[in-house]
Amino acid sequence: MSSITLVEAVNLALARAMEDDPRVVILGEDVGANGGVFRATVGLLGRFGAERVVDTPLAEGLIAGMAIGMAAEGLRPVAEFQFAGFAYAALDQVLNHAGRLRHRTQGRLACPMVMRTPCGAGIRAPEHHSESPEAIFAHVPGIRVVYPSSPRRAYGLLLAAIADPDPVVFLEPSRLYRLFKEEVADDGEPLPLDTAFLLRPGTDLTLVAWGAMTHEALAAANELAAEDVFAEVIDLATLKPLDLDTILGSVAKTRRCVVVSEAPRTCSFASEVSANVSEQGLMSLLAPVERVTAWDTVTPMSRLESRYMPDKRRIVAAAHKVMQYH
Amino acid sequence: MTVVARFEVRYTQYLDSQGRVVRPVPEFARDPRALVPDYGAMVLMRALDSKAIAMQRTGQMGTYASTLGKEAIDAGVGAVLAKDDVVLPSYRESGILFLRGVSPHRVFLYWGGDERGNVFPESPRDFPFCVPIAMQVPHAVGVAYAMKLRREPRVALAVLGDGATSKGDFYEGLNAAGVWKLPLVALVVNNQYAISMPRSRQSAAGTLAQKGIAAGVACEQLDGNDAIAVRDAVGRALERARSGEGPTLLEALTYRLSDHTTADDASRYRKPEELAEAWKREPIVRLRDWLAANGAWSKEQEEALHRECAERVQAAVKAYLETPQPGPAQMFRHLYARLPDAYAWQRDEACAPEPVPERHVEHHAG
């Protein structure tokens, strides 16, 4: 067991999957000799060769469509999109084919593929590099959307995503790529998909977050604890399909819920969580479900990103608001 | 200035529109009887097509994309593909699928609004109809990549229309296929129209085949109404792909003798004289004339063929009409390998028996 960063955990999981399953291939821009712009695929070309670590021409629609063809023909492609803002070109293929192929052929062909992309703000990246597109992908039927928040979960969830028989969009918070290290055992053990993780138990309110926002939520929970307000923190990890039971179980206990998302507010995944908790948890709730989100603005360039993303301060303020209800 | 590159695009034709041989036919056609099955397939395609339109017009089927005029292309492709190759069709390639063994009632089911129309038990690796334009070209790249990676002597064949060559997916796929020398054939069925847009306004390129040149991909134009030319050109492209020489872009010239679909009315945008002129070049009569002139086809055979086609059409219609209506569970089955627990309640609610409407009791005052 060694202490590694999230991006190293992604690399470790990719290497493990390629070692264990000859059907696994990696494709994307600069994933070969360069090891990916964030170094997520570093060393894989040397270990597994250029046929399985495929540097593609610069065309995101091609990468997505090609992964679909590979998957339907029996490979297990893991496609990298360099930045979330560039993954939108792949959306056409994800919507019209990846999410539909199994259904429209009634199980004859399937798409066991993973589309990885770094996403989210907080690393002072250029324009179009900092979006958090989870809600856009989560709207697509037939796929899974996974958003890990730690090295250990990145490792276990990526292995699960690669082994899954259906397409998975795997969103990697670039802000967490090198933020901290964690002990990760390279044991090839996947973590369960479709399952939320309890990060911190609490009694007074439930903080629901995913990706980089789990760390803002944990920081807020720390600060609230100093005021004797105990927040339970849940990391959704898989957004689609949503593990509503875990959230509702928590809300039944805490009776208050705050959902945090770094994407724009309108039609955000926070809205989806809020709607479900309001619909099905009404009898538990003492307070309206609060959403803490980014603004309904264009994701700003780096100078304003700290004013765009939700932070500990805004989450604490939302917690104070729901704590006013008894 | 120095010329740094020079290119040419070749055109293949054996039979002119009168069924006359314009150059010596290739080896496989030396005995004309070898083309009799192709002719039979073309006549069957046309019979199925006209039945499909009739069923749409009488409310027994939904919107349908006619194959009228492209029978030589579908027959030629079907004749030379190997069983293990993979076809990635657009929505107008039902003829190829028939020759892959797919039962015609599947095609009726598809256009009748049922996903079971894309289940091809006879040809399980082939892709389903692709309605969004050109998106099957990147799929074909992935399929061909998998074949090459596993050192299999198989080929991915994507079929697309003239309009599809304007899309990025087409260029992106062709470009990548060239880079990796993939066993891929992209066949452009240039039927002169993308719904209402004539070929002349789709691209300033002199041929659509030449779009392969920019990608470093071998390319060729052919007479898509000449069954011998199709079989020859597609056969050579498949052979090149299979022997590791890389992809080919083929442009088959034909004419859409039908409306775009049954929801379209082509008289809004093209002249009847143009259509009448195109009928003179259609593929079926041309091949029949050549077969007959070479003693490989008789009036009796023609009559027997039409009887046989009528029977097969009736059998397909029967199988189609007798397919039970899908239940709502079909929306959820195969959405995922296993339906996630989160959606089980939606399936259960969708599949719940429809409530019997309460008897409406009118209350009259007084």
Shortest distance, CA A180 to any CA of chain B (angstroms): 33
Q: Does A106 touch chain B (CB under 8 A)?
A: yes
Shortest distance, CA B160 to any CA of chain A (angstroms): 15
CATH number at residue A97: 3.40.50.970
Q: Are residues A28 and A120 in the same domain?
A: yes
Best of B91, B109, B172 to substitute, by most chain A Cβ atoms within 10 angstroms, is: B172
Buried b (16+ CB within 10 A) or exposed e, A158-191: bbbbbbbebbbbbbbbbbbbebeebebeeeeebb
Phi-psi region of A268 (alpha: psi -120 to 50; beta: other; left: phi over 0): beta
CA distance A63 to B108: 33
Closest CA relative to residue A259, chosen from A238, A288, A290, A235 = A290
The domains located in chain B, with CATH, are 10-322 (3.40.50.970), 328-353 (no CATH)
Q: Which of A184, A207, A231 is the last residue of a domain?
A: A184
Residues 257-286 of A with CB under 8 A from B: none
**B145 and A74: CB-CB below 8 Å?**
no
> Which pLDDT does position B360 carry in this prediction?
59
**A64 and B138: CB-CB below 8 Å?**
yes
Q: Do β-strands B184-190 and B248-253 pair in parallel, antiparallel, or remain unpaired? A: parallel
**A77 and B124: CB-CB below 8 Å?**
no
Is A83 within the bounds of a domain?
yes
| Option in A97, A106, A141 nearest B135 (CB) | A97
Q: Does A247 touch chain B (CB under 8 A)?
A: no
Is A220 within the bounds of a domain?
yes
> Which pLDDT does position A310 carry in this prediction?
96
Query: What's the sign of the alpha-carbon dihedral B81, B61, A98, A125?
Result: positive
| Option in B120, B146, B342 nearest A70 (CB) | B146
CB atoms within 10 A of CB B201: 9
User: Cβ distance A150 to A178 under 8 Å?
Assistant: no
Q: Does A65 touch chain B (CB under 8 A)?
A: yes
Best of A21, A73, A276 to substitute, by most chain B Cβ atoms within 10 angstroms, is: A73
Domain assignment of residue A211, given as a range: 197-323
Q: Which residues, 6+ apart, have CB-to-CB distance to B102 below 8 Å?
A: B120, B122, B123, B126
Q: Are residues A166 and A231 in the same domain?
A: no
Strands (DSSP E) found in A5-143: 24-28, 53-55, 76-80, 114-119
> Which pLDDT does position B366 carry in this prediction?
44
Q: Which residue is catalytic, options A97, A129, A320, A326?
A: A129
Q: Are residues A39 and A178 in the same domain?
A: yes
> Over chain A, what is the mean pLDDT?
97
Is A191 within the bounds of a domain?
no
CB atoms within 10 A of CB B331: 16
CA distance B231 to B77: 6
Residue type for B240, please?
R
Residue of A nearest to B179 (CA): A57
Residue of B nearest to A77 (CA): B142
Q: Are residues A122 and A236 in the same domain?
A: no
Sequential DSSP letters for B4-18: ------EEE-SB-TT
Q: Which residue is catalytic, options B10, B33, B269, B343?
A: B269
Q: Are residues A80 and A105 in the same domain?
A: yes
B343 is catalytic: no
Q: Are residues A235 and A311 in the same domain?
A: yes
**B142 and A104: CB-CB below 8 Å?**
no
Tokens of B175: 């470009």
Total residues belonging to chain B: 366
CB atoms within 10 A of CB B84: 11
Q: Are residues A153 and A18 in the same domain?
A: yes
**B138 and A243: CB-CB below 8 Å?**
no
SS3 letters across A188-201: CCCCCCCCCEEEEC
CB atoms within 10 A of CB B318: 11
Is A11 within the bounds of a domain?
yes
Q: How confident is the model at residue A70 (pLDDT cuts 50, 70, 90)?
A: very high
Q: Which of A124, A150, A184 is the last residue of a domain?
A: A184
- What would the mean pLDDT of A25-32 be, rounded to a whole number? 98
Is A189 within the bounds of a domain?
no
Shortest distance, CA A68 to any CA of chain B (angstroms): 6
**B141 and A65: CB-CB below 8 Å?**
yes
Q: Are residues A221 and A110 in the same domain?
A: no
Q: Are residues A57 and A111 in the same domain?
A: yes
pLDDT at A165 over 90: yes
CA distance A62 to B176: 8
Q: Are residues A14 and A125 in the same domain?
A: yes
Q: Are residues A202 and A176 in the same domain?
A: no
pLDDT-flagged residues of chain B (< 50):
366
**A57 and B176: CB-CB below 8 Å?**
yes
Q: Which of A134, A158, A184 is the last residue of a domain?
A: A184
**B125 and A93: CB-CB below 8 Å?**
no
pLDDT at A213 over 70: yes
Is A166 within the bounds of a domain?
yes
Q: Are residues A105 and A19 in the same domain?
A: yes
CATH number at residue A295: 3.40.50.920
Q: What residues of B are in contact with residue A54 (Cβ under 8 Å)?
A: 145
Number of domain units in chain A: 2
**B115 and A166: CB-CB below 8 Å?**
no
Say yes or no: ipTM exceeds 0.90.
Answer: yes
SS3 letters across A157-197: HHHHHHHCCCCEEEEEEHHHCCCCCEEECCCCCCCCCCCCE
Best of B122, B125, B139, B148 to substitute, by most chain A Cβ atoms within 10 angstroms, is: B139
B20 is catalytic: no
Q: How far apart are the first and last CA of chain B?
A: 102
Q: What residues of A are in contact with residue B115 (Cβ under 8 Å)?
A: 103-106
Task: Give me the helices (H) in chain B, please.
Answer: 36-57, 71-80, 94-99, 104-111, 136-149, 168-180, 199-202, 211-214, 227-242, 272-279, 283-293, 299-322, 344-351
